[in-house]
Amino acid sequence: MTTADPVATASELLIGSKNPDKVAEIQALLADLEITVRSLDEFDVPDVEETGESFAVNAGLKASVFALSTGLLTVSDDSGLCVDALGGDPGVYSARYAGEGCSYQDNIDKLLENLKGVPSDQRTAQFIAVLACAAPDGSVRFTVEGLVEGYITDEPRGTKGFGYDPVFYYPPLRKTFAEMEPEEKNRISHRANALGAFRETFLQLRT
Ligand code: IMP
């Protein structure tokens, strides 16, 4: 006897993130899928330490723990900034680049300090987001990646967004992410691209 694939048959999908901004963004982009979307704040679940050395491992770790503790098909994400001149740093350490408990501003200050003297054409960077989908038994069924390319500015510009947005310049719109309206950023961001890929794979597996 073969067991039905949980991605194909699940009637509910849990968004495994404790960040309300991300939950809202993911919910909006998955709204028309024929599945009931559940949120983590309905459950008492453990915190998951992001101990992996890649975004995919961390996203899988979170999806797996949340799926196991709720019994639901779960999608979780991990994301960060990779700067070419710094060998891909801060990467998976993006949130705590300047140390545990540091602020977004501390991270930006450290990044700009480490890039001092690097000419603008060598300040290329990518925001990367990975989404992992885990079955109720904790097994990771698939992961997808989204990416957006840009440059790190010499100084912060703009007040919108969060994290490294004020120093991430996106040439096609000639703005940093912090100078964009949220809807503008959400059309082209790494997370939007990852969600597009997630939708595609998810829909394929459900047909
Ligand atoms: P996490 O995916 O919540 O672990 O986020 C990791 C870190 O990457 C965040 O704390 C930010 O510093 C950075 N980051 C991820 N996505 C973005 C973004 O869209 N804008 C700015 N910073 C981001």
pTM exceeding the 0.85 threshold for the entire prediction: yes
Has residue 188 got a pLDDT over 70? Answer: yes
Q: How confident is the model at residue 77 (pLDDT cuts 50, 70, 90)?
A: very high
Distance CA(4)–CA(90), nearest Å, equals: 40
Using most ligand atoms within 8 A of CB, pick from 162, 177, 181, 185 the residue to mutate for ligand 1.
Answer: 162
The continuous run of DSSP H or E covering 170 comes out as: strand 168-170
Using most ligand atoms within 8 A of CB, pick from 58, 79, 165 the residue to mutate for ligand 1.
Answer: 79
What is the average pLDDT value for the chain, to the nearest integer? 93
- Whether 56 is in a domain gets the answer yes
Q: How confident is the model at residue 175 (pLDDT cuts 50, 70, 90)?
A: very high
Distance CA(178)–CA(155), nearest Å, equals: 12
- Whether 39 is in a domain gets the answer yes
- Does the Cβ of 164 fall within 6 Å of ligand 1? yes
Task: List the domain range (segments joined by +) for residue 107.
Answer: 6-205
In this predicted model, what pLDDT tens digit does every residue of 57-72 receive, in sequence order?
Answer: 999 999 999 999 999 9
Has residue 177 got a pLDDT over 90? Answer: yes
CA-58 nearest atom, ligand 1: 4
Q: How many domains does the chain have?
A: 1
Distance from the alpha carbon of residue 4 to the mean position of ligand 1, in angstroms: 35
- Whether 1 is in a domain gets the answer no
Distance CA(63)–CA(43), nearest Å, equals: 14
Has residue 5 got a pLDDT over 90? Answer: no
- Whether 87 is in a domain gets the answer yes
- Whether 117 is in a domain gets the answer yes
Assess contact for 14 and 66: CB atoms under 8 A.
Answer: yes
- Whether 96 is in a domain gets the answer yes
* CATH code, domain carrying 79: 3.90.950.10
Tokens representing residue 68 in the block: 């196991």
Q: What is the pLDDT of residue 1?
A: 46
> Between 21 and 128, where is the model more confident?
128
Tokens representing residue 204 in the block: 């394929």
Q: What is the mean pLDDT of residues 105-131?
A: 98
- Whether 178 is in a domain gets the answer yes
The closest residue, in CA terms, to atom 22 on ligand 1 is: 163
Provide, rounded to the nearest whole percent, the portion of the chain with pLDDT above 70.
99
Q: What is the pLDDT of residue 59?
A: 97
Has residue 2 got a pLDDT over 70? Answer: no
- Whether 83 is in a domain gets the answer yes
Has residue 111 got a pLDDT over 90? Answer: yes
Q: How confident is the model at residue 3 (pLDDT cuts 50, 70, 90)?
A: low
Cα-only R_g, the chain = 18
Q: What is the pLDDT of residue 28?
A: 79
Identify which of 207, 150, 201 has the alpha carbon closest to the alpha carbon of residue 179. 150
